[in-house]
Amino acid sequence: MSIKTSIPKVDGMGLVLGKPAYTDDLAPRDALIVKVLRSPHAHAKITSIDVSSALAIPEIKCVLTHENVPDHVFSRAGQGFPEPSPYDARILNKTVRYIGDAVAVIAGATEKVVDLAMSKIKVSYEVLPAIIDFEEAMDHKVLIHANDETSSMFPIGHDAKRNLAAQYEMKIGDMGQTLDSCDVVIKERYFTQAQAHAMTEPHSAVAYYDFQDRLTIISATQTPFHVRRILAKNLNIPLSTIRVIKPRIGGGYGGKQAIHGEFFVALVTQMTKRPAKLIYTRKEVFTASYTRHQMRIDITLGAMNDGTLKAIDVDILSNTGAYGEHALTVLMVAGSKTLPLYNHVDAVGFRGDVVYTNLTPAGAFRGYGAIQGNFALESIMDELADKLKLDPIELRRKNMIHEGETSKIFEVMGEGTEGTAMTVESCKLEECLDSVLTTLDWQKKYPRTQVDEHTVRGVGLALAMQGSGIPYIDMASAILKLNDDGFFNLLIGATDLGTGSDTILSQIAAETLGVPDDKIIVYSSDTDLTPFDTGAYASSTTYISGHSVRIAAERMREAIVEKANRFFKVTDAQFDGENITAADTVISLKEFATTLYYSQQQEQLVAHGSYVGTKSPPPYMVGACEVEVDKRTGRIKVLEYHGAVDCGTPINPNLARIQVEGALLQGIGMTLYEEVNYLENGSVFNNSFMRYKVPTRMDVGPMHVSFEESYEPSGPYGAKSVGEIGIDTPPAAIANAIFNATGVRIRSLPITSESLWNALNQK
């Protein structure tokens, strides 16, 4: 049938052929061009702003400043409600907090005239001291959100007077006593960097009034329903007057989970009654959207000489930049999606501070804290093995989680709130480990191979886990409609970012109904037409939205059979996906549906399903690689990368494999190539693809992805998530491989040729 079948993406051919599908393709032809004047200062107050010369240009229709837009403090993060991020942003503010912060919005007939108008806006600033180094931010004499009426909807540790966007602490067991009882205690510090999302399509938004004067927003967003809620609240208009349409999206990786240009186009349309569109330049994407949270991670392990892990203690300092979107939740995921890997310990400690700086804001990014936490945990596990003179594989086998076990972390730590207790009902971590050891030929290559006098190869490995949605928060719903002729419309609020979620959700519907895949016509997502879904984030779509589709399809089957019973005046009609059978009579679904709507009973069959998760079953993965190092130059080359994944049942194995491969390459990019570089004044130096380097497929050797299937009882057809897990292992696996090759431990990302060469020459 449909599950575990690698059918092509339902939107693939249209996109390949260049059919109009994206936000800019769908903008009205007469849409005003909207651009944003951005701050040249990292921290400043606007003392005056004169837009008269700009407005004097006839083709300019609107200029927005802090003086003529709603003045609410809110969070741009597209998260559930109540929101676990501080309210610290305004649509346009009198104070600017990073180079690239919005100062004014200009709308005009053409790009040329808008650029001219922008050059004529006169802004006077009182330049304020700025904080660029995040390690100096907490309790700094400079307050980044001083007197700005910031707040939070519930306690998140927000304290603007200390430059704290959020703070969290938890502990299980007696850490001091446990560490005192250990044979070995090891403590190290790791750094991870700000990374850019580098998605193909820039942030884009369009606004217009429809013929009923309803404000319509077309946006490349991962969270259309959150966008509608946040817009309505802060524009002071009823939710019912806003419609948000998500067209096809050219990648998001978390960067499109939040509000970016939607306010600006909405306000321009409100003021001018004209359609408006804002397409970010690539420079704006780099400087004025989001980065990954930069982190400093101090981690302590306590263990016995036989390798029994007794204690894990983690202390994190996270840099959220100028605003605190996702500050708390990313921090907590750094612990909640890593610490349960080693669940036999007696004591666990986790604490963290998320600080404001005058840099580009950080936000959601694939891996969402787990990749940072995993780098530290899986690096120090190898360091512990080295100290204990144990095999790092056996150290992991001795301490890692298994099927049927649990972790207190699940109960204590969620994303912004307490977690949910659960037992792991599907876990093939042991099989994943065996798989990569075999395919990489680990025993033959570990720890190193000397190629020649200057060249050496090493292998490294890391375990990882993620989650499948946020329990009791992530909710999705689906509607199925049977049409005459016997095909179905599947309406979902889930957001396909290019991941193929429309395809796998239609597969779940087809499997449940027992019909061919091409009988499912899928629509996602439009806040007027499709049902509610919290959005595409937290690895939730397959698990959460998939369940809602399954439920809707099961109800549709029941509705078809019920109608057939009435049609045939029987009680035991059967539906096999193609035909309906009652006694000796057989009628096709096509004929039945046509009869149902045109001549008999005449009732539209519609079924719906809603689902909210009560647990978040982790997918698991082991990543292993072989790297080659030229000790003369520090040049590092990933010769091959092997990933074995337990995502439960892969609904569409090819799309699942593509997800993992893409995530692996993104993780390798974070490990070896990518870093948002700031100059001393806080500006982003590498704000183009000419300067910001992401690896291409040509930069990395073969990637081998395999699946160690499990069956997750709580998942739709046994499925768990697969969207994020692939990015988590490369930093630690590559760092471990470099250590095994050279004997040099690098604890700061990215690991560049320069940093390795310096370390080699200080050895």
Q: What is the 3-state secondary structure (H, E, C) of 355-392?
A: EECCCCCECCCCCCCHHHHHHHHHHHHHHHHHHHCCCH
User: DSSP letters along 67-109, please?
Assistant: TSS----B------SS-SS-B-B-SS-SEE-STT-EEEEEEES
Q: Residues 194-219: pLDDT tens digits? A: 999 999 999 999 999 999 999 999 99
- Span 475-481, average pLDDT: 97
Q: What is the pLDDT of residue 600?
A: 86
Question: Which residue type, as a one-letter code, is found at position 136?
Answer: E
Q: Which residues contact 648 (CB under 8 A, 6 or more apart)?
A: 426, 617, 619, 709, 710, 711, 712, 715, 718, 719, 720
- Please compute the mean of the pLDDT values over residues 99-124 and round it to a whole number: 98
pLDDT for 298 beyond 90: yes
Tell me the C-alpha distance between 1 and 515, whole Å: 8
* Region 153-171 average pLDDT: 96
- pLDDT confidence bin for 415, thresholds 50/70/90: confident
* Residue 149 pLDDT grade (very low, low, confident, very high; cuts 50, 70, 90): confident
Tens digit of each residue's pLDDT (9 = 90 or more) over 261-278? 999 999 999 999 999 999
Strands (E), 506-613: 520-523, 574-575, 579-582, 585-588, 606-612
Write the CA distances from 558 to 47, 287, 520, 579, 607, integer angstroms. Answer: 66, 52, 17, 14, 9
Tokens found for residue 346:
């007696």
Q: Listing from the earlier edge strand, what are the strands of the sheet with 520-523?
A: 520-523, 488-492, 475-482, 606-612
Closest CA to 542 of 614, 488, 467, 602: 467
Can you give the pLDDT at residue 253?
95
Pull the structure tokens for residue 550.
């399954």
How high is the pLDDT of residue 763? 62
Element spanning 204, H or E: strand 204-209
Rounded CA separation 78/629 (Å): 42
Mean pLDDT of the chain: 96
Describe the chain by its helix, strand, coil percentages, rounded to 5.
30, 25, 45
* Helices vs strands, H then E, count in the chain: 20, 27
Residue 147 φ/ψ region, left for φ over 0, alpha for ψ in the -120 to 50 degree band, beta for the rest: left
